[in-house]
Amino acid sequence: MQAAGPGSGAAWEPMNVDLDSPPEVLRGDLPRGGYRIALFDFDGTLSLIRRNWPAIMIPMMVDELARLESGESREALAATVEEFVMRLNGKQTIYQMMQLADEVSRRGGVPAEPLEYKRRYHDLLWVQIEDRVAGLKSGRLDPEEHVVPGSHAFLQRLTDAGLTLYLASGTDLNYVRDEVAALRLEPFFGERIFGALDDYKQFSKAQVIGRIGEKLRELGAPPEALVSFGDGYVEIEETKRAGGTAIGVASEEETRRGVNAWKRDRLVGAGADVITGDYRRSDDLAKLLGIA
């Protein structure tokens, strides 16, 4: 990928100065219209506040397993951890911690409670993101710089086109609400924000998608009237299961440019209908969805 040049992204520059590719359409019979509800995942799909979370979660888990001296190398443990952490990404964080507890048991250790692992993880992560959240709230940091590029304008476009927007995140609801507000995304979602609860069985993306299905029936709209956007397996698979269109957001969370190849391949494997790296090409996305 071409490096972003000086001043890249300034309003006066044409949009085609870099090598960003248009959305990749993987489904021939993609419905080109009729969408009523759009569902968004939060972290990695809109928000980049928690962008370094795998760099916190994976080493924490590897440390936990390495203490058990199972004879596996740190590299081998890291590969095991990365596989399940990424496979479960999109579900509530507690599921990743439940898997860690299983991995500890499997190696003859006595695991802590998954909720305790989750608390430790969040404490470590919070050290990294606390300043970001505070800076966004105080106005010192620009919300546009801490979202997947083009998020605000694209959400506005969907809203203007008459779609109702929902947000569902595997992160705890109180944090999601706080970070949605810090990023000035609240007006787009209102009360339609869902996240993990202490009683983890009271929330899942499948449940939210089920409720959206009921809403669509009330509106006299078919299941195909749902389009969802996500950078994880879970939202893609659940959306497809419900009969909706799934847009895989293969965001590059650090550079904020282009498509992340690793995410793209996984999202394609999960059944995504379209892949995009971000929302800067909102004309192309809007045309694909028939809302141009």
Residue numbers of the site for Mg ion (CB under 5 A)? 41, 43-44, 231-232
Q: Write the DSSP assignment of 184-238 as a string of letters.
A: T-HHHHTT-EEEE-SSGGG--HHHHHHHHHHHHHHTT--GGGEEEEESSHHHHHH
Single out the residue of 268, 279, 274 nearest to residue 244, CA to CA: 274
Strand partners, 251: 259
Q: For Mg ion, which is the closer residue by CB, 173 or 292?
A: 173
Dihedrals phi, psi of 230, to nearest 5 degrees: -160, 155
Alpha-carbon distance 285 to 274, whole Å?
Answer: 9
β-pair partners for 164: 37
Identity of the residue, 111 or 232, whose beta carbon is nearer to Mg ion in the bound complex: 232
Q: Which of 43/237 has CB closer to Mg ion?
A: 43
Tokens 């004879």 sit at which residue?
Answer: 71
SS3 state of residue 291: coil
CA 196 to CA 32: how far, in whole Å?
32
For the chain, strand residue ranges (E) read 24-25, 37-40, 164-172, 193-196, 226-230, 245-249, 274-276
- Closer residue to Mg ion (CB): 41 or 179: 41
Q: Which CB atom, from 36 or from 152, has the smaller least distance to Mg ion?
A: 152
Give SS3 for 92: coil
Q: How far is the CB of 216 from Mg ion (least distance, A)?
A: 23
d(CA 283, CA 279): 9
Burial readout 240-251 (b: 16 or more C-beta within 10 A, e: otherwise): bebebbbbbbbb
Smaller CB distance to Mg ion: residue 64 or 253?
A: 253
CB-based contact 203:92 (threshold 8 Å):
yes
Nearer to Mg ion, 26 or 86 (CB): 86
In the complex, residue closest to Mg ion by CB: 44
Q: Shortest distance, CB of residue 251 to Mg ion, whole angstroms?
A: 9
Q: What is the closest distance, in whole angstroms, from the C-beta atom of residue 49 to Mg ion in the complex?
A: 12
Nearer to Mg ion, 36 or 132 (CB): 132
